[in-house]
Structure 1
Amino acid sequence: MPPLHKPTKAEIQAAIGTTVPDLIAPDLRVLFCGINPSLYSAVVGHHFARPGNRFWPTLHAAGFTERLYAPRNDRDLLQLGYGITNVVDRATATADQLSTDELIVGGKQLLAKVQRYQPQVLAVLGIGAYRTAFGRPKATIGRQSEGLPSDALQGTIVWVLPNPSGLNAHYQLKDLAATFRSLLDVI
């Protein structure tokens, strides 16, 4: 399969506010939830596609995938029981361009998706986005034991993982893999 084309500056600019369709199905093992799509991802139409994003290497290093997937293979995750969505659908250059209100509304929309599709685990990738979207200012990385309405979750485990963006300097790849592996160990 050929590599994704490198978006031009004009394509990147035109992608502001566009979306990347969810990769979702009923009864997934894990529904990974990014903060929002990058402009790069919106142009190429694949999740976590921006060069430097460590989502795909982290999934492989943690043991979720038997090989290193590329963004163009994102639909193949459904066959493994994994899906991808976002808290906010709107593509931006950086997640800090999202407003608090957008994150809160996105959190409500995410709960509706969880209620509809009933994944075993909802894995939110980004502690700050999780804290804002769900009003949990003291939440930490890992399994969440409180704070979301249980009637919306219907047994879904909520787990917060670090944002794999290359812009997140707090975690190196080996640290991301270890943190993601902690989720894999319980499913």
Structure 2
Amino acid sequence: MSTLPDLLGPGLRLISVGLNPSPASVASQVYFAHPRNRFWPMLNASGLTNEALAPSVESMRRLFEVHRIGFTDLVKRPTPGVAQLRAADYREGAAALRMRLQGLAPRAIWFQGRTPWTQYLRHAEGAAPAAGWGLQPQTLDGVPVWVTPNPSPANAAFSLDDLIARLRMLAGWLERIA
């Protein structure tokens, strides 16, 4: 199966965990590559980096090497939308994600959407998550967890301004704990 490679390693400032890759992302080998995905405009306006980036392999490299932001997904199987994911995908994905994150000890883990966070907790930890956004009461092996709305265009309940505001809160928190 073709999918996106994980961009993970020790000493990262932040690890982004998406739900699963889109076919557009897999084809370009760039996270959040769908042209209507709001990830890149949200990132550029958030203060999480000090430069404007566009969806490209070079930008992914800069995020990883310069800004120390890693990327992975709960489910590695690409689909055009969440409706194509099955309970087995979440069960397998949660266990695999737990293994991928072990020992990396980033400053924080950022779940992009409630679905990947709740499915991870349900299947990897046997726990029910708190319903709120932002910093979570649960950690992953002692690492703080943040949850922001998914930037997918399918998530129309949140405007780009809402997404930017929530990511700015994460960026500010990261600066304070640096």
1:10-49 equivalences under 5 Å are 18-49=2-33
Aligned residues: 166
1:85 alignment counterpart = 72
Q: Distance in 1 between matches of 2:83 and 2:104?
A: 28
Question: Structure 1: which 5+ runs fail to align?
Answer: 1-16
| 1:1-187 equivalent positions in 2, closer than 5 A | 18-72=2-56, 73-78=59-64, 79-135=66-122, 136=128, 138-146=130-138, 153-187=140-174
Do the aligned partners of 2:130 and 2:137 also contact (CA within 8 Å) in 1? no
Letter of the 2:61 partner, please give it: R
1:138 positional shift = 4.4
The match for 1:9 is: none
Q: Kindly provide the amino acid, as one letter, of the partner of residue 186 in structure 1.
A: W
Q: What letter corresponds to residue 157 of structure 1 in structure 2?
A: P
Partners of 2:171 and 2:28 in 1: how far apart? 29
Amino acid at match of 1:76: R
Superposed CA offset, 1:42-73 (max 9, x none): 11111110111111111111111223211211
Give the fraction of aligned pairs with identical amino acids, expressed as a percent. 37
Choose 129-138 or 110-119, whichever is displaced more: 129-138
Counterpart of 1:172 in structure 2: which amino acid? S
TM-score, scaled to structure 2: 0.86
Q: Would you say the 8 A contact 1:100–1:132 is kept in 2?
A: no
Residues in 1 aligned to 2:35 and 2:11: alpha-carbon distance in whole angstroms: 30
**Structure 2 Cα separation of the partners of residues 84 and 129 of structure 1:** 13
**TM-score normalised according to structure 1 size:** 0.82
- Could you list the runs of 4 or more consecutive aligned residues of structure 1 that deviate by over 3 angstroms after TM superposition? none
Stretches of structure 2 lacking an aligned partner (at least 5 in a row): 123-127
Distance 2:130 2:103 in 1: 28
Alpha carbons 1:120, 1:155 under 8 Å: kept: no
Query: What is the Cα deviation at residue 137 of structure 1?
Result: 5.4
